[in-house]
Chain A
Amino acid sequence: MSHSSVLFDAPGPKARRASLISSIVTGVVIVGGLAWMVWTLAQPRESGGIILPGFFDASRWNIFADPEVWQFIIFDGVLGTLRAALTAAVFAIAIGVLFSLLRSSEHAWIRVPTSVVLEFLRGMPVLLMMLFILLVLDTGSFWAVVIALSLYNGAIIGEALRAGLAALPRGQREAGLSLGMRPLQSKMLVEFPQAFRQMLPIIVAQLVVLLKDTSLGFIVGYTELLRVNMNYLASFYGNRYLFSLFVVTLVLYLIMNLSLSWFARWLSKRTASKSSGARLDPDNPNQAILMAEATAAARKSEDNSPR
């Protein structure tokens, strides 16, 4: 349904002009609304008889001219966030690989407990998991953030990889076995690399979620970007800079997350053009896993049909 023009007759010159005009009008309304918001924020405000400068006044932004502030933001904040995200990403992928292999095992006594654990990990808030690790294992806030994020995202990556394994053509496994490989060898050497490549965009998209969730460290007391900016710097320089610090935090997060999201999308396009398989949408992991599962189900029913 990507070409919605199928739904109605091709618009004539009149309809096209009408849509162009309404497009310009709504565009003006949207830009006007945004401009009004910015203008309102920029107005000086009165509080308890004192006139305070507007939010875009230079006196609210002058701390950012100080390199020491940026040193704080970059080295304590951004690096703290990236350190936790990177460590958790490595563990999450390792855990995901492990989960996917256990979950697609041939023995029920491995498969069933694994799926119970996965269900448990996926159904619980990450924040509660962080609190659990912090209080029970007493690891300190860095490892609480890292372990909780690795377990949670590992469970999701594991599920994606399992769907990828199930969606492979059966002939891959049969070919491996017929060459004399053992089931595990065939899985590791033949099937898994293909599933991993197929699911790579989904995994990277999940890493965006992981990167975003490091900000939960703010609540459990890990020193990352949000805590450095909104707690340390805001209390050091005073309330006056609260808004400007928030804007800077938001922009830094958007830069990090958007670049990773775009990387996931680029990766997805690349894998789609390389393999003949359908393109999996990294914006929609559920949908993508669903598609892989549907492929698997279709393959299964094909195999069962009499030839």
Chain B
Amino acid sequence: MDAVIENLPIYLEGFRMTLLLLVVSGVAALILGTIVAAMRISPIGSLRAFATVYTELVRNTPLTLVLLFCAIILPYLGSRLDYVTAAMIGLAVYTSPFVAEALRSGINGVPLGQAEAARSVGLGFTQTVSLVVMPQAFRMTIPPLINVFIALTKNTSVAGGFFVFELFAATREIANANGDAVIAILLAAATLYLLVTVPLGILAGRLERKWVVQR
């Protein structure tokens, strides 16, 4: 336990980097994912095909491989990004198809009859989408999106294996320096992760229950 308290500054430094990775790559993934989702439902066939192939390929690539590409292959190819930025890009790219799928399934989850009803009472395309479909799709989308961000929180730990000093890397360093208190050190790190993931999970569960039953 003493080892944990002594090393608290290192933990917090790592935790701050974890949160930074989470926020920056989360926002970037949200933007990228929205673009991909828009491409997937767009009327332009080639964009649709591109987005489908992108989703399929990125989702079936291990995150370790993506981050290895960003940390080792990109500098080798001549990029001058620092490791943190590269890891953010990697995490954002890896997360974007999951965001896109969550958005798309939210829109697909709105029953066809809703749009038909809106059209039959004379609403136009913009009105149908903005007044009838989107408000319902939005609430279907939020819980899965929160789940995507929970996964992202846990995925930031992989960046710790590729030269980014975040919570996992900090934990590994502290554990290597204090071989006698490994259990306490690892549990402290787990607690910090749970501090982010569990409240998010409870929030997602609550929203799911609240919004799904109403349908």
Give chain A's interface residues, CB within 8 Å of chain B: 1-4, 6-8, 19, 22-24, 26-27, 30, 41, 45, 55, 119-120, 122-128, 131-132, 135-136, 208, 212-216, 218-219, 226, 230, 239, 242-243, 246, 249-250, 253-254, 257-258, 261, 281, 283-284, 286-287, 290, 293-294, 297-298, 301
Contact = CB atoms under 8 A, between A and B. Distances in A.
Contact of B172 (A1, A131, A290): A131
B77 A41 contact: yes
Contacts of B50: 26, 30
Given A19-B43, A124-B154, A127-B168, A1 B60 contact: no
B78 A246 contact: no
A26 B47 contact: yes
If over half of A's interface residues share one DSSP class (helix, strand or loop), that class is named, otherwise mixed; here it is helix
A131 B109 CA distance: 40
A283 B193 contact: no
Contacts of B110: 1
B198 A119 contact: yes
B79 interface: no
Nearest to A300: B213
B161 A218 contact: yes
A58 B152 CA distance: 39
A286 B44 contact: no
Contacts, number: 182
Interface in B77-109: 77-78, 101-102, 105, 107-109
A239 B63 contact: no
Nearest to B157: A125
Nearest to A34: B50
If over half of B's interface residues share one DSSP class (helix, strand or loop), that class is named, otherwise mixed; here it is helix
A162 B96 CA distance: 29
B64 A281 contact: no
A7 B60 contact: no
Residue among B46, B171, B175 with the most chain A CB within 10 A? B46
Given A1-B108, A124-B197, A250-B61, 13 more contacts: A1-B109, A6-B115, A6-B116, A7-B119, A124-B194, A127-B158, A131-B186, A135-B175, A230-B72, A246-B68, A286-B102, A287-B144, A290-B208
A250 B65 contact: yes
A127 B161 CA distance: 9
Contacts of A123: 150, 154, 193-194, 197-198, 201
B143 A126 contact: no
A164 B108 CA distance: 22
Nearest to B123: A7
A47 to B, nearest CB: 8
Contacts of B122: none
B133 A1 contact: yes
Contacts of A216: 64, 158, 161
B182 interface: yes
A297 B161 contact: no
